[in-house]
Amino acid sequence: MIKSTQLFAIIFFSVTVGRAQPANDNLCNAIMINVGASCELPNIDLEMATAQENEPFIYCSSDSQIDTVVYNSVWYSFVAPAEDIAIIAVTDTFDFLKDFQINLFELSESCEDLSSLKNIDCSIPINDDGVIMTPNLSEGIAYYMQVSGKRYQQDSINFSGKGCLTITTITPPINDDPCGAIPLDLENPAQIFSNLGATVPESEFFITPPVSSRFAGLDGWSAFNDTIDNSVWFTFRTPPDGGNVLIDLSNSFELPGNFNAQVAVYQVEDCSDFSTFSLLTAADIGFLENRIIENPVFMMECLEGNKTYYLLVDGASSSFGRPTRDKGYFSIQTSLARPAPSVGTIGPATELDSVCVDDGLPDVFAVDSEGGFGFDYEWIFTDTNLNITSLPGAPPFNFEGQDAGTALVWLIYFDNIMGLETNANLNDLQGCYALSDFFEVSKITGDACASLLTTTNDHWSEIDVSVSPNPVSDLLRIKTDFFPDQESMLVIRDLHGRVLISQYFHSTEQRIDVSSLPEGHYFLEVRNKQKNAFKQFIKL
């Protein structure tokens, strides 16, 4: 058994050792970092670090909220290889207010003389997501890194945690040109990539997207960075029916470096010939304050099926006029948001060729629809020249009081549409939509009405149908004035006109189980050979 005095000594020793100043608390004790070595354990520890007298301030801050005084630092050194390198420093916390900052120096005299340090580069993460530096260095020269804790002017406590520092050599990525584009499966989760080492052939500049109408937007690239500088390429392929594809970079803020991505999507005939590239869309993924990314997710709508699209990711060196890193790590995911709108079939629920629209009697009719899909929908009446005469809402419809002529009835499914308004023409619609076939209704007036057989209109005032309870949760009670020996039919439709329940009956009262229907509004039509009626009810 350990005696209490021994136990106390062990605890005291552990606490004392754990709170000692780090060995590399001053320049002369800088720890050598081998280029290419991994960080198996945290090799940065600012917990008890101090600042030497005349310690250099942080050189690169353009943010008035950052305190440029260095309050704690540890030092590292390395010898520059022939290859380009990336210096990466990340903390072991995801607190967005806590991060490292780095000064990179050459040392011309003794390590005892801090005034002999010449600043080569500096990095303060604007969005608090870790440091990436890609300095231009001379092979064989020893460089020194001052790693300190970031501190805000409004906060009296500087960051004093742990993390990892690594130095890696940079080689051109395999997707540096379009013909080496990496495929992104629409069913895969987000993946991490880098444009470190990316290059741009001169001919690629000719496919640079236009400048956005905003500093960061979905209609082009920022005016601060309107050229392709260091692009990497990806592809994604749409399913047979096409659809709407989401491009998502929202996880990028969790990665080191203030990487400011710009994205463009192209249709490509020949990956080796930029003259065959056609720009479809472009977006500037600009950084805002507090790790908020502008436009990190955007949608490509109504893409054709079985097509390969090329996606370019480039880096911008500023965001809203502030410096950012144009090379670094980013997260990207492409996914099928939903299928593109598809065409269904529609038609009148009962035989309907002509209606008399000036006899003062309702000309109410229901429609059946089947198979269509879209984020939204609209019923449309047009004339024979395809001019939109009415957007009547959900069926059933009533033509009474309209002008004589031929009406074409359409159903349109859409995700995003422009020009869908009365007096516009169907040929001028723009956006992502699918338009059904139409059916015709002849609207007649005056003497022409005499040729119509007396059907629904002659008996409309005699119809008596009631539904209860309304709203209903399970059993809907339907009472009619139809004769019990008449074969009649009831039909329940949703607001699209789709038939959900249909059955014949021979009594004046029916009870229908609607418990399986989703909550919402529905239409009930009751009809026999002579007359019909419509009622609306709400399902709870």
Cis ω before 56 (30° cut-off from 0): no
Give the DSSP letter string of 158-201. Answer: ----EEEEEEEE----TTSSGGGPEE--TTS--EEEE-TT----
Architecture of domain 345-453: Sandwich (2.60)
pLDDT of 36 higher than 70: yes
CATH of region 27-170: 2.60.120
Q: What is the pLDDT of residue 128?
A: 57
Among the listed residues 365, 343, 345, 347, the one whose alpha carbon sits nearest the alpha carbon of residue 355: 365
What would the 3-class secondary structure string for 471-535 be?
CECCEEEEEECCCCCCCEEEEEECCCCCEEEEEEECCCEEEEECCCCCCEEEEEEEECCCCEEEE
Percentage of residues in the chain with pLDDT exceeding 90? 29
Query: Are the CB atoms for 532 and 524 separated by under 8 Å?
Result: no
pLDDT of 4 higher than 80: no
Mean pLDDT, residues 200-223: 72
Q: What is the pLDDT of residue 276?
A: 96
* DSSP-assigned beta bridge partners for residue 330: 193
Number of H helices, E strands in the chain: 2, 37
Among the listed residues 262, 328, 324, 315, the one whose alpha carbon sits nearest the alpha carbon of residue 288: 324
User: What are the CA-CA distances from residue 87 to residues 73, 102, 194, 202, 370 (Å)?
Assistant: 17, 10, 14, 28, 59
User: What are the CA-CA distances from residue 319 to residues 127, 216, 217, 323 (Å)?
Assistant: 11, 8, 12, 6
pLDDT of 465 higher than 50: yes
Is the pLDDT higher at 109 or at 226? Answer: 109
Query: Are the CB atoms for 176 and 114 separated by under 8 Å?
Result: no
CA–CA distance, 63 with 150 (Å, rounded to integer): 12
Query: Are the CB atoms for 511 and 444 separated by under 8 Å?
Result: no
pLDDT of 205 higher than 50: yes
Query: Are the CB atoms for 48 and 95 separated by under 8 Å?
Result: no
Q: What is the pLDDT of residue 430?
A: 87
Among the listed residues 421, 28, 91, 42, the one whose alpha carbon sits nearest the alpha carbon of residue 254: 91
Q: What is the pLDDT of residue 6?
A: 34
Q: What is the pLDDT of residue 251?
A: 80
Q: What is the pLDDT of residue 502?
A: 82
Tens-digit pLDDT profile for residues 420-456? 999 999 999 988 888 888 888 888 887 777 665 444 3
In this chain, the answer to whether the domains covering 178-337 and 465-539 adopt an identical fold is no
| Total-model pTM | 0.65
CA–CA distance, 226 with 318 (Å, rounded to integer): 11
CA–CA distance, 85 with 367 (Å, rounded to integer): 68
Tens-digit pLDDT profile for residues 159-173? 888 889 999 998 889
Q: What is the pLDDT of residue 11?
A: 32
Tens-digit pLDDT profile for residues 41-83? 889 999 899 999 889 998 786 566 778 889 999 999 999 999 9
CB atoms < 10 A from the CB of 474, how many? 13
Tokens of 228: 């392709």
Q: What is the pLDDT of residue 508?
A: 79
Tens-digit pLDDT profile for residues 392-412? 887 778 787 888 888 888 888
Q: Domain ranges in the chain?
A: 27-170, 178-337, 345-453, 465-539
Q: What is the pLDDT of residue 258?
A: 64
CB atoms < 10 A from the CB of 34, how many? 10
How far the first Cα of the chain sits from its last, in Å, is 71
Lowest-pLDDT range of 73-87, 252-266, 289-303, 507-521: 289-303
Is the pLDDT higher at 446 or at 24? Answer: 24
Query: Are the CB atoms for 300 and 237 separated by under 8 Å?
Result: no
- In this structure, the strands spanning 430-435 and 405-418 are antiparallel
Grade residue 9 by pLDDT with cuts at 50, 70 and 90.
very low
Tens-digit pLDDT profile for residues 309-362? 999 998 776 554 454 567 788 889 999 887 777 777 777 766 666 777 776 666
Mean pLDDT, residues 264-273: 95
CATH classification of 178-337 is 2.60.120.380, yes or no?
Answer: yes
Tens-digit pLDDT profile for residues 140-152? 999 999 999 888 7
Return the H-helix or E-strand segment holding 458: helix 456-459
CATH of region 465-539: 2.60.40.1930
Q: What is the pLDDT of residue 63?
A: 60
Query: Are the CB atoms for 96 and 290 separated by under 8 Å?
Result: yes
Tens-digit pLDDT profile for residues 482-517? 666 667 788 887 766 677 888 888 777 888 899 999
Q: What is the pLDDT of residue 20?
A: 84
